[in-house]
Structure formats: C-alpha cells, structure tokens
Chains A and B, each alone.
Chain A
C-alpha cells in the first residue's frame, strides 16, 4: 500500500556497479494517526451536529378580546403546574358550575396523559364525534406516500379543532419550572389537543394548590 518496497526486480548482475547501502523507505505513520484523531476530536467538540428542534406557540392577542366566546365549563380542564413536577387539575362541575375536588398527578405516562386522553375520549363519545382514531391512520398514510403532507396536516388540524373536544387551561405557579411548561405543551401535542391556552394563575388557585398539597 503506502510503503514503497526498496530494490527488487531481481536485476542483480555479478560484477555490477557497487551500490550504496539500501535504506528502508517505510515511514512510521503513527504520528499521522495521532494528528488525525486530534483534529477529529477538535471538530467533534467545536461543532454542533444535530440542529435544535422547536415547538411553536401561539398566544392570543392581548388587547381587544371584545367578545370572548363562552365555552362549556364541563368541556374544560384546568391544569395547575405546581412545584416538584406536580400537576394539580380540576374540572368544573356541569350542574353546579363549581370546581370539583382537585387531584394531584404527575407528568408521567400514567399520570396526566391518561387523564387527558380519557377525558377527551369521553367528551367526544358523548358528542358522538370521536374521530381521533384516524389521526394515526392519516400519519401512516402520509408515511407510505398515499396522501401529501399538506393534506395530512389540514385533515389532522380539522380533527383537532373539533368543537366538542377537551379544552385545556394551563396555569403555572411561580414555583413551577420552565421544563414543566414545555412538558405540558408536549402533552398537548401527544394527546392531539388542539385547543389550549396558557393563562395567568389566580390567588384562589394558588391556595388550591397549597390545599391539595397539604391534604396529600
């Protein structure tokens, strides 16, 4: 390969010219390997391989909400993000209009995600409009190139905008971490909840958190 064999060819005649001592032309490549790996290390440390991912958030325009559309209280769930990665959630009772007993849960798969999926499913079944099952089907159709991306997106957002679906109100306590906010927005994506809002917490709800935590 890279070595050049000195001499060879077999032209050794007797009584030829006296030749100089043959030197080996083999080169030691070890320092070159060292250099190569040094540069690799340098490039690996100074560069960013994977591009950052992002989630898009739309907040409502602050002023001129002249006629806020009333929503059915029974359709909403309020999530209070508390300290130590805990969530306190409550529903509004349909008949009395009063908040029901708050429940403490976590960010795990069996925690808030189960609650959201179950509640959303209940609401949609009640309204006889549960077509959420078709979201994975649409995604699969897009993956196998049966429908274009634009069609998949518009059809999915059509499903998500269902009038009867769950509406999530997210309120974060001062002790909550930024991670909690991103996590809960992530749950919205996972649970395919199209209608949610980040709202400022009220003092009553802060007390509610304290109460719920205290009870536990």
Chain B
C-alpha cells in the first residue's frame, strides 16, 4: 500500500496581527481608565437601579466596612493638608510638615486621632498592613463628627457620600447618619453598584 504523504507545513504563526491587537487593547485601556484609589478595606457595595453618577470632585466619602469600622476620605490634597491641622488643633495635637504631607497623600483612613501619628509614620507601602480600627463615631467620643464638620468648613462645596458594605449592620449606619444630621448634613449619597435587573415602571 502506498503511504499517504502529508505535506509538511511550518508550524510558526505570524504573530504580527496578534501584536497589533494586543497593543490596540492596551492603548484603549490606558486612555479609557483611571487608577483605582487604594482602599484599606474591600467594600462590596449593594446594587440599586439608581443611575445618578457620582461626582468626580468635592467629595467626602465615609466608608462603612462589614465589620462596623468607619473610614473617612476627603478629596483634594490641599484640603486634606488644612483638614489635619484644623482637626488636630481641636484635639490639642500638632502635626509636623512631614505628617501633613503624608496625610495629604493618604486616600481613605480609619484610625482614631491618638493613633494617627503612628499611622502616618508608617511608610505608605506598609500602610495596608496597619491595623486600622476605624474612626470612633459613637455618641460619647465622636471623632467622625469633627472630620465631617471641619471638612465642610474648609470646602463649602463638599458633598457627602456613604459607601457601605452590603453586610454592614444597621446600627452603625444609623450612627453615621445621625452624626451627619448632627452636623447639619441632611443630603447625602449612598454609593451603589448598578443593578443588572431592569425595571420598567
């Protein structure tokens, strides 16, 4: 029987087209996205059908984690520099230039004021390992109220957003809302993910 000869073909594939695709996608991602700010806790936000977009600037974000810790963030480096000095002055604490600088670069933080100096002394790369206990927000010792109030004094246009984990319990949410109301913030936003459910009505 004669053998069937299979013609040998080269197995090397032309990679040029694939390179084109890869770099096209790369360019798209570079242009279309912005860097995710570093977060001390991962928050699994609840979903809703609300379609209002969150504003980019002048935001004050209060994060509530699922283990009832409260974190705070004010946007804008120049505002943060003022904020730490003002809040420090309220509690008889002074911060040196390095600490102010370090604070202005921190995104979201959740430490009580008496631990803030230790927290800022840690190098930014190691900060994720720092055990942040959350900002005290109970009625006896409410530091969150100071942060909120001073932020509003520094930046008049600031808007408040609450970013809660969907498993955060209600009492801590209630405390945060009550704190905001004490400081006369009666309009605020809940940050949510867009729900996949479509509703017509």
**Structural contact, A53 and B33, CB atoms closer than 8 A:** no
Q: Which residues of the partner chain B approach A62 to less than 8 Å between Cβ atoms?
A: 181-182, 186
Contacts of A35-53 to chain B: CB distance below 8 A: 36-37, 39-40, 43-44, 46-53
**Structural contact, B187 and A40, CB atoms closer than 8 A:** no
- CB closest chain-A residue, reference B182: A62
Q: Pick the contact of B170: A33, A51, A56, A177 (CB < 8 A).
A: A177
A53 to B188, CA, bound (A): 13
Interface majority SS (helix, strand, loop, mixed), chain A:
mixed
**Structural contact, A36 and B166, CB atoms closer than 8 A:** no
**Structural contact, B174 and A53, CB atoms closer than 8 A:** no
**Structural contact, A182 and B22, CB atoms closer than 8 A:** no
Whether A53 touches B50, Cβ cut-off 8 Å, given contacts A47-B34, A62-B181, A190-B201, is yes
Inter-chain CB contacts under 8 Å: number: 164
Q: Which residues of the partner chain A approach B48 to less than 8 Å between Cβ atoms?
A: 53, 55, 182-183, 185-186, 189
Q: Which residues of the partner chain A approach B193 to less than 8 Å between Cβ atoms?
A: 52-53
- CB closest chain-B residue, reference A132: B201
Q: Which residues of the partner chain A approach B126 to less than 8 Å between Cβ atoms?
A: none
Q: Pick the contact of B201: A46, A53, A183, A191 (CB < 8 A).
A: A191
**Structural contact, B170 and A40, CB atoms closer than 8 A:** no
**Structural contact, A177 and B15, CB atoms closer than 8 A:** no
- The reply to whether the CB of B7 lies closer than 8 angstroms to some CB of chain A is no
Q: Which residues of the partner chain B approach A138 to less than 8 Å between Cβ atoms?
A: none
A43 to B28, CA, bound (A): 10
- The reply to whether the CB of B54 lies closer than 8 angstroms to some CB of chain A is yes
A47 to B137, CA, bound (A): 31
A72 to B185, CA, bound (A): 29
Given contacts A36-B23, A36-B26, A47-B35, 9 further A-B contacts (CB under 8 A): A53-B191, A57-B187, A58-B186, A62-B186, A176-B170, A177-B169, A181-B170, A190-B199, A192-B201
Q: Which residues of the partner chain B approach A58 to less than 8 Å between Cβ atoms?
A: 186-187
**Structural contact, A53 and B52, CB atoms closer than 8 A:** yes
A contact residues, total (Cβ < 8 Å): 55
Q: Which residues of the partner chain B approach A135 to less than 8 Å between Cβ atoms?
A: 201
- The reply to whether the CB of B171 lies closer than 8 angstroms to some CB of chain A is yes
**Structural contact, B192 and A136, CB atoms closer than 8 A:** no
Q: Which residues of the partner chain A approach B77 to less than 8 Å between Cβ atoms?
A: none
**Structural contact, A2 and B50, CB atoms closer than 8 A:** no
**Structural contact, A49 and B32, CB atoms closer than 8 A:** yes
Residues of B whose CB lies within 8 Å of any CB of A are 14-19, 22-23, 25-26, 29-30, 32-36, 45-46, 48-54, 64, 161, 163-171, 173-174, 177, 180-182, 184, 186-195, 199-201
Whether A182 touches B46, Cβ cut-off 8 Å, given contacts A53-B53, A176-B170, A177-B166, is yes
Q: Which residues of the partner chain B approach A37 to less than 8 Å between Cβ atoms?
A: 22
A110 to B181, CA, bound (A): 34
- CB closest chain-A residue, reference B193: A53
A32 to B14, CA, bound (A): 12
In the complex, 14 of the A-B residue pairs with CB atoms within 8 angstroms, ordered by the A residue number, are A3-B16, A36-B23, A48-B33, A50-B194, A52-B193, A53-B193, A54-B50, A55-B50, A178-B166, A179-B167, A183-B48, A186-B49, A186-B50, A190-B49
Whether A57 touches B173, Cβ cut-off 8 Å, given contacts A47-B29, A179-B167, is no
Contacts of A176-216 to chain B: CB distance below 8 A: 176-183, 185-186, 189-192, 198, 200
How close is B33's CB to chain A, nearest CB, in angstroms? 3
Q: Which residues of the partner chain A approach B187 to less than 8 Å between Cβ atoms?
A: 56-59
How close is A125's CB to chain B, nearest CB, in angstroms? 17
Q: Which residues of the partner chain B approach A40 to less than 8 Å between Cβ atoms?
A: 22, 25-26, 29
Q: Which residues of the partner chain B approach A30 to less than 8 Å between Cβ atoms?
A: 15
- The reply to whether the CB of A81 lies closer than 8 angstroms to some CB of chain B is yes
